[in-house]
Amino acid sequence: MKIQRRLLSLFTSKNVLNLSNKLNKKCMGIFSNQAVFYTTDNTASGSPRHIVLTEEVLNALGRDEATIKALKVIEFDCNVLYEEGEQIPTKLNLENWKELLEQGYMKRKKYLRYLAVKEFKHESGKEKKKRLGEKKRAKNIENREKFVAQNPSGIANYGFSFNTIFLKILDSTMHKWYHSKVVQEMMFSNPIVFDMSYDQYMQKSEIMNLAEQMAEMWTLNRSHVWPSPVTFCNVSPDSEFSKFLLKTNPRINDLDYPVEISSKHYLDLYPKNQVVYLTPDSRQELQYFNHDDVYIVGGIVDKTIQEPLSYAKAKKEGLRTARFPLEKYLPWGSGSKALALNHIMSILLELKYHKDWTKAFEIIPRRKLKNQEEIEDYMRREEARNRMLKKQKNKSYFRK
């Protein structure tokens, strides 16, 4: 079915229907193991290509025969999918071409759909922002004109969109103030450490998700009443995580940015007796936030990983481990107890500030907890179990 659809879009092209192109020979090439490419310009025949392989991409990715063939296959697939009505972005950057080179046909199709949706959201967001800005400016002009018409004497009016005695606080000023709070804590508090040594266990999409969680974690941390210093350990400068992290936060490598990024192991930076590795597979529950301890969080997005990697690593290194007492304070559902890294950071910050697990766990999404019916069913089963245990205890007492 896929071959028929690709042939249909191939046959409908004016370039292919031209008899001088030796259609039979090209069709035979499609069914063979060799790739066939169309090097004529479709623009002249009235059928422009949607995605065009540029000289810039060829120079950047290499001009060896295998790479050129693979890139031309990608270009051909993109244009065929576009003719079939699939979601395809209007342009591809160099990183997109690199990603497509490493994928098969189905993954490539899924990735192109993702890029198209992302591009559409970006463009629609820009248009929406532009419309809102124009609407706001028009409303401000209308308010000023109305005020001038109602106050011909020209007396100053204090209020929104008018005169004010307060200075405008710029975003850059707020960023500096947030960062100053973290810098102050760096002088007196132990950091929350993220172990970033799990790249080899994750797919590229999971590493990208990890970088996004780290960006959100940092935003939550610096805006908290009592922020905490943050350290990234075992970070390779050439790793995929470093590239994605730099995309989400371009200033993170600046000298004045209050985040420590190190390629060293955490045991080379902190005493072993102070290190506590937080992992959901630990048998020991964390009782309270100890300011003398250095808490390590495994930097991993385990959507497809079922193995207790962080727990195994901590036990191998002879470290203390701990887990959050989720079942003790929450009606936890049947899902995994692994939390997003930004949620873990929020829980630690709230626990440090409020010293209350109930308050700290308010950040956990409701979807991870049992609903009311599951809670009632659980309570009924517990009551039945307690009655059964009581009967067995009474029987054993009378037998004596």
pLDDT tens, residue by residue, 387-398: 887 777 666 655
What mean pLDDT, rounded, does the chain reach?
81
Q: Which of 4-8, 221-225, 250-254, 354-358 has the lowest mean pLDDT?
A: 4-8
The number of distinct structural domains making up the chain is: 1
pLDDT at 35: 43
pLDDT tens per residue, range 276-309: 999 999 999 999 999 999 999 999 987 777 788 9
For residue 9, pLDDT over 70 is answered with: no
330's tokens: 């929450």
**Close Cβ partners of 26 (under 8 Å, ≥ 6 residues apart):** 16, 36
pLDDT at 182: 94
Cα–Cα distance measured from residue 213 to residue 325, given in angstroms and rounded to the nearest whole number: 23
pLDDT at 391: 74
Structural domain includes residue 28? no
Q: How many CA atoms lie within 13 A of 133 on its CB side?
A: 6
Structural domain includes residue 80? no
Higher-confidence residue of 105 and 36: namely 105
The residue behind tokens 């659809």 is 5
pLDDT at 346: 94
pLDDT at 267: 95
For residue 102, pLDDT over 70 is answered with: yes
**Close Cβ partners of 151 (under 8 Å, ≥ 6 residues apart):** 157
Classify residue 46 as left (phi > 0), alpha (psi -120 to 50) or beta: left
CB count within 10 Å of CB 51 equals 21
Structural domain includes residue 379? no
Nearest to 50 by CA among 9, 16, 20: 9
> How sure is the predictor about 180, in pLDDT bands with cuts at 50, 70 and 90?
very high
pLDDT at 186: 92
Structural domain includes residue 41? no
Q: What is the CATH number of the domain that holds 319?
A: 3.40.1280.30
400's tokens: 């004596």
> How sure is the predictor about 52, in pLDDT bands with cuts at 50, 70 and 90?
confident
Q: Which of 57-61, 181-185, 213-217 has the lowest mean pLDDT?
A: 57-61
pLDDT at 327: 84
pLDDT tens per residue, range 207-234: 999 999 999 999 999 999 999 999 999 9
Residue range 105-124: mean pLDDT, rounded: 90
Q: Which of 72-86, 133-147, 217-231 has the lowest mean pLDDT?
A: 133-147
| Boundaries of domain holding 344 | 171-368
199's tokens: 């790249």
Q: Kindly state the percentage of the chain with pLDDT values over 90.
A: 36
Classify residue 85 as left (phi > 0), alpha (psi -120 to 50) or beta: left
Structural domain includes residue 71? no
For residue 146, pLDDT over 50 is answered with: yes
> How sure is the predictor about 273, in pLDDT bands with cuts at 50, 70 and 90?
very high
3-class DSSP state for residue 322? Answer: strand
